[in-house]
Amino acid sequence: MATDKKPVSVLFVCLGNICRSTMAEGVFRSLTQNASHPLIAQIDSCGTGAYHVGSRPDSRTLMTLNAHGITDYTHKARKFAYPDDFHDFDYIFAMDKENLEDLEDLRERRAKELKGNEAAVANMGQVMLFGAFAGEGRKSKQGEVVRDPYYGGNDGFEKAYTQVKRFSENFLKHLEGDE
């Protein structure tokens, strides 16, 4: 695919960075051949909390990814890097409304710190629910949340996989202009 569009960087965010955001990162990496897609510059994931910093993804996340043929995903959990992640990523996707609210609060704080530097504020990454891409490649205001499967069984991880795969495919269609 030849394109004159600027490649974008994408950050997936959940609470602890071991279940949902890592699932989304692994799926998105597999769909973009680990960022060799011409419209993708960088892919990463993190958490709004520091609960699991340095940990590998939850074994059920890795098991679910493996069951779907994604066998080469590795990651060490990290916390959202304030303020750098706002400037390093074009799209910052929250998995649920609480994470979205936390990110929006941080983004607002950063914008206040940059008051008077409108260009820097304008270049900060977009913060939104990843589930804004729940249907047909169109961005919606509401969006679908990805429920945290951490305290549940394997079925929650499978549901998260199904959601993030659909969102990823729709987001790629959006980037490609095939809405």
Q: Enumerate the β-bridge partners of residue 46.
A: 13
Rounded to whole angstroms, how far apart are CA atoms 18 and 72? 16
Residues with a known catalytic role: 14, 20, 148
Angle between helices 154-176 and 59-67 (to 10 degrees): 60
CA proximity to 172, closest of 41, 65, 31, 6: 31
The Cα diameter of the chain in Å comes to: 50
- Say if CB 32 and CB 40 are below 8 A apart: yes
For 55, the 3-state DSSP assignment is coil
CA proximity to 10, closest of 171, 118, 140: 171
Helix (H), strand (E) at residue 12: strand 8-14
